[in-house]
Structure 1
């Protein structure tokens, strides 16, 4: 019966997310329902002592990352840099390779620190134009954008400033560059396999005589290449974010040492900060600040026109994203404290004894249930990271490997139909789940297979 009290809130939260209901509201409601069914008197204590403490802790750690990422994406968009970069890559690759061009633009933008939601909005007009010119079915656009923006640059490639690659650093005391070779292997597998699949779909449609189609909704106007910023200047902020992320990671670890003790500056009320836990987060934040300042320096005249109103929109979006994920994190803390979770964990551990496989299955399952990579990752690591570290230490598995597996697993089954990014992407393109979700789901399967691949590569070769 205890396990039922764990499974029930997970199913209810998944249903709420699928119906588009607010996770901020329903995460605590579903978690506290389970507590109420066990012992009603526990509810206030669990809400204040566990849910709110976990949620507040998440917001304290990650809100600046969400905020700076949203602002960076917005100024890149306002400056016209996203359009310029897209046009450059399309010109270099050629319009005949429309799918590859769109994938590479999405990959460059997300790896450069632009939010995947911003990338989806920026890419769609170019994808629509290219697919029309080359007569590729419009229904293949979401799968193409998903491969470029939602997959290997989000959680596989080392150094990615996306939140899915940042969250594990606080639990495993690693950096965003953890297990670089495993990340690169997984990233290459996802990109190559995804492109093979998309090209197969394109050829199959062409053979059947299917073109772009008519009667579509949300069709963008024709894109103009006039007055676009210099493409190489547009790439500079993305390049600087990546370089500064690496430099700041090295400088912070070498400059601060193990911890920062506030008593050394006369502040005795504040506990010391463990530097290893914060270094990766600080490095990404600093890199994004450099990126924002660079965009403002290069294109202030163009950006300033709508800067105030658009920045306010970005701040609202960052707040919503942070509270959504923080609420899921609090949910995970409550569930992990229930008696049934321990039983469930013991059952899973006995069924899947290998710590890497256990970690991958647990995280990707929770990401799928919640419809959120960062949510599922946060829930799993909040309750299981110490277990994974202990089990890994016994087998000589480094925290860096645990980080990379966790990060990539979060981006596995997260893109199920109720995922917010999937719903947003389909809304932007004016397509339905029936028309285009099959291709997105194939990317989901490829991402999940990539996690199994890097685990096998690690055990076979020991490469990190």
Structure 2
């Protein structure tokens, strides 16, 4: 007997389902490989385009045009938009370190609070430096020697230091508190036409929630260790030299804080006062000569560039002799760090922009957007997932907003939701699941402290979970008062 085939419609549906599976699988495979290789320490700059092109080939899309006209164009656009902030932020942090201002701030806070409040002292020291514009990596280097000294004096396990630094530097001061000059708070301004002070009340509430819950967790862990008779521990590596720290002199605390205050004040003045950069140039001239249709999409970056520039000058002047001796080497180090950071992130942005052109992404996008009718919740899911996959808060945030930012803004406008809320939720969500084990800041922090994922990552992850939960609580809560 002759074998008969099924109805043509059924065969077409089966073929379509098979193709869709391959298209979605290609994206998930590329994302998984990128995360795995980043975790293993391979450079994202190299492997992001490789895995991007793997997904392109598996999806049956043109290979070379996808690389040169989509990946590279979008990566270059990201560099164009944010390189000044990366560079000036790195220079500011390095000058604060070279001048001795960063170590002075950490020293005075730790000394003022004492060993009885060792964890709080470390968290506050990191918070002040980060909120003042010092990069996360510089903060970790600056605070660690004092954290080690005060934890040893209080006989608190050294393994809790990374969690304390992460709470102070990687969470609420990075993306929740209004006006923070960290890049995670600036990226959404490009997509939503907001500024660094967007949704201040939501940000402050979120910061309080994260701080309180994080401190509760760390203090609970300290008490458990004390009850078990566990102290600072012996045989640690990368221990600071006690004698040199004891003999070191530190500059006046108010002088050390001055550059941070200038950055924060300058950012506010150039964003929300009569000196706002929005009014510096004629709107018609900007559109005709520079193709800037809405100055709000760039004004936050302009304001921060000016503020960081003033902060750098101040940080150099407060200890000019010391900075002068180290300036050439310090600027080279800062520039190299800024280049590596932005090109890593730009590669992830290029990856995301190629992925969004692939057929399988339509399915993934529908799942993310369809996970909730609330754009705030949907946005929080998208940013958290992508930040977790890429291991980068700024990378995941950029990909999510580049791909779906316009759609979220349209949904929000239709529901009467302020773009400022979109900004704050997106910014805070980027600092949620980004600190998975393959995150560069986590790996660097553990290397600085001489600890491992096995000994200290549990506390970092707990802080990550706290931050992620806070974002969703805020997203749902804000929806109730829309």
Q: Does 1:197 align with 2:222?
A: no
Deviation, structure 1 residue 203: 0.7
Q: Does 1:442 align with 2:462?
A: yes
Give 3-state SS (helix, strand or coil) of 2:133's partner.
coil
Match of 1:237 among 239, 255, 259: 259
Q: Deviations 1:131-181 (Å, cap 9, x if unpaired)?
A: 000000000000011001101000111111111111111011110110000
| 8 A Cα contact 1:172 1:389, kept in partner | yes
Deviation, structure 1 residue 286: 0.7
Q: Deviations 1:254-283 (Å, cap 9, x if unpaired)?
A: 3336564375xxx6xx53463111000111
| 8 A Cα contact 2:114 2:150, kept in partner | no
**Mapping 1:20-419, distance limit 5 Å:** 20-39=41-60, 42-222=62-242, 223-224=245-246, 226-250=248-272, 251-256=276-281, 258=283, 260-261=285-286, 263=288, 270-272=290-292, 274-419=294-439
How many Å separate the matches in 1 of 2:104 and 2:388? Answer: 35
| 8 A Cα contact 1:259 1:275, kept in partner | no
Deviation, structure 1 residue 352: 2.2
Greater shift, 294-303 or 317-326, is seen at 294-303
Match of 1:17 among 31, 38, 54: 38
How many Å separate the matches in 2 of 1:460 and 1:377? Answer: 25
| 8 A Cα contact 2:167 2:211, kept in partner | yes
How many Å separate the matches in 2 of 1:19 and 1:344? Answer: 26
What stretches of structure 1 of length at least 5 have no aligned partner?
Answer: none
| 8 A Cα contact 1:259 1:272, kept in partner | no
How many Å separate the matches in 1 of 2:55 and 2:246? Answer: 55
What stretches of structure 2 of length at least 5 have no aligned partner?
Answer: 1-20
Deviation, structure 1 residue 354: 1.6
| 8 A Cα contact 1:169 1:277, kept in partner | yes
How many Å separate the matches in 2 of 1:165 and 1:417? Answer: 23
How many Å separate the matches in 2 of 1:261 and 1:129? Answer: 53
TM-score relative to the length of structure 1: 0.96
| 8 A Cα contact 1:153 1:187, kept in partner | yes
| 8 A Cα contact 2:368 2:381, kept in partner | no
| 8 A Cα contact 1:259 1:274, kept in partner | no
Give 3-state SS (helix, strand or coil) of 1:216's partner.
coil
| 8 A Cα contact 1:68 1:289, kept in partner | yes
Q: Say what the alpha-carbon RMSD is for the aligned residues.
A: 1.3
Q: Deviations 1:66-120 (Å, cap 9, x if unpaired)?
A: 1000000001001111111112212322231010000000000000000000000
Deviation, structure 1 residue 36: 1.2
Residue-pair matches, total = 456
Q: Deviations 1:168-224 (Å, cap 9, x if unpaired)?
A: 110111101100000000001011111111111111100110000001111111123
Q: Deviations 1:301-339 (Å, cap 9, x if unpaired)?
A: 111111101110110000000000001000000001111
Q: Which position in structure 1 is the counterpart of 2:450?
A: 430
Distance 1:240 1:11, change over 3 A: same
| 8 A Cα contact 1:256 1:275, kept in partner | no
Q: Which position in structure 1 is the counterpart of 2:13?
A: none
How many Å separate the matches in 1 of 2:332 and 2:323? Answer: 14
TM-score relative to the length of structure 2: 0.92
How many Å separate the matches in 2 of 1:101 and 1:440? Answer: 17
